[in-house]
A and B are shown apart, each in its own frame.
Chain A
Amino acid sequence: MRCIAVDDEPLALELMETYIAQVPGLDLLTTFTDAISAWGFLKKNQVDLVFLDIQMPDINGLQLAKSLDRKNPMVIFTTAYSKYAVEGFNVEAVDYLLKPFEFSRFMEAVNKARVQKALKDTIPPVEDDQAIYVKSDYQNVRIATRDIQYIEGFDDYIRIHVDTGKSIYTLMSLKSMLEKLPSTDFLRVHRSYIVPVKRIKRINNQQIQLGDKEIPIGKSYVDAVRTFLNIK
């Protein structure tokens, strides 16, 4: 686990360094004596765990923790006085160490962080939230790409079939539509059709089954489709 330690007091920081050095697998990247510098570092670097003093001059530890992304990195508060304990847990701290604390208590906190990290690593990342905007009825309409069933092309407009609500009609070509979409997720299969790759249920040389809808494959597209989907 990659960690940093933040404390305004030199001796307290020294103790964190000593403790962290004794734990295999815990990698101390650097230490900070103020929250502002730590914040700058956290914005630019991947850090799993922050040991964070609460009462510090300038910006305190709670303010720093609140400004961080909720899930990443994990925070273990270290503080001399329990006044902030409840608030500490409100910012989803892994643990809360009251100074002075022994190595065994420190290890307890580190182990909690390990369990949390293991859990976090096994949970698949949240479905992406990609979306495109198309002009329809003089407005820009947001369409989440994962909601798209398929896209049908006509002479000078296209129809986007979506899971929820009515189809969206917009004046553009399938070619320019394809350029808007994430290239790994959508495939042109016919002069008149674009399909989302993840929704393909069955495929042969003539057609693709998407849910209960069958889409024809254009003769000139067969080879490209088979290569894209790695079908021999």
Chain B
Amino acid sequence: MAYYLFVQLQESVRRADQVLATALQSELSFLKAQINPHFLFNTLNNIYVLTLKKSESAPTAVMKLSNLMRKITNDTAVDFVPFEEEEQFIRDYLDLQELRLSEKTKVNYEVTGDYSRCNIAPRILIPFIDNAFKFGVSGHTASEIDIRLRFEGNNLHFSIKNAIHQSSGESMESAGVGLENSKRRLDLLYKDRYELSINHTKESYEVLLQIELL
């Protein structure tokens, strides 16, 4: 048993090393891949405004951001976390994104199936969600972002769809980097156990990801 644990530990250390060294180069870029600094500082700004207004939602927003930051700092060396925890992360993240949005953008989020015994690589889905907010929001057109998570046994079917509004070349490039990081992590952690397809048209962007969880 002790030997088994040791091997497990060794294995997970090795994986973590790989994740950091090969896929993400440094802890800093690992953190960045998990949370976009733009999201972080805009959220801090929104919280600043809420506190200035003495809004009742200020404490909740601080707690949500605090939850996110705690998970990010705790999970740096962890390969997998219970999906329940990750689901809470996504929920907090979406709630904070909501603060940034005008009434023109609607977010649909749905989780179905039983995930009580599933584990997942932390933040593996976040770059896709982040991307949808980056490109799927417009200042003058109404838009929707659809996020669906469906569990069938150990299989997670994740889909996210947004309309495309932004056309700036620079931004498209930076989106590519975030997605590249995600793909590299998928390759390292779920090799041969995931399927990723991206439907990119002029009007919309849809990511379909199926992972066989552990």
Contacts and interface: CB of A to CB of B under 8 A. Distances in A.
Interface of A: 8-12, 14-15, 18, 32-37, 55-60, 63, 80-81, 98-100
Nearest to A37: B140
B69 interface: no
Interface in B167-190: 167-168, 171
Contact of A11 (B40, B50, B171): B50
A63 B168 CA distance: 9
B49 A12 contact: yes
Given A10-B102, A11-B49, A33 B139 contact: yes
A12 B46 contact: yes
17 contacts: A9-B101, A9-B102, A10-B102, A11-B46, A11-B49, A15-B49, A32-B139, A34-B138, A34-B140, A36-B140, A57-B137, A57-B139, A58-B166, A80-B41, A98-B41, A100-B44, A100-B49
B139 A55 contact: no
B165 A55 contact: no
B41 A81 contact: yes
Main secondary structure of the interface of B (DSSP, over half): helix
B37 interface: yes
B139 A36 contact: yes
Nearest to B104: A33
Contacts of A11: 45-46, 49-50, 99-100
Nearest to B168: A60
Given A9-B100, A36-B140, A81 B44 contact: no
Interface residues of B, number: 27
Nearest to B50: A11
A13 to B, nearest CB: 9
Nearest to B46: A11
A18 B45 CA distance: 14
A36 to B, nearest CB: 6
A14 B67 CA distance: 26
Given A11-B99, A12-B46, A56 B139 contact: yes
A56 B167 CA distance: 12
Contact of B45 (A34, A58, A99): A99
Given A14-B49, A81-B37, 9 more contacts: A10-B102, A15-B48, A15-B52, A18-B52, A37-B139, A58-B166, A60-B168, A80-B40, A80-B44
B138 A57 contact: yes
Interface in B103-143: 135, 137-140
Contacts of B166: 57-58
Given A33-B102, A58-B166, A60-B168, A8 B137 contact: yes
Contacts of B50: 11
B42 interface: yes
Contacts of B45: 9, 11-12, 15, 80, 99-100
A100 B37 CA distance: 13
A11 B9 CA distance: 46
B38 interface: yes
A36 B165 CA distance: 13
Contacts of A32: 139
Contacts of B42: 9, 12, 80, 99
B38 A81 contact: yes
Nearest to B44: A100
Give the top 7 A-B pairs by smallest Cβ distance, nearest first. A34-B139, A80-B41, A100-B48, A99-B45, A100-B45, A80-B42, A11-B49
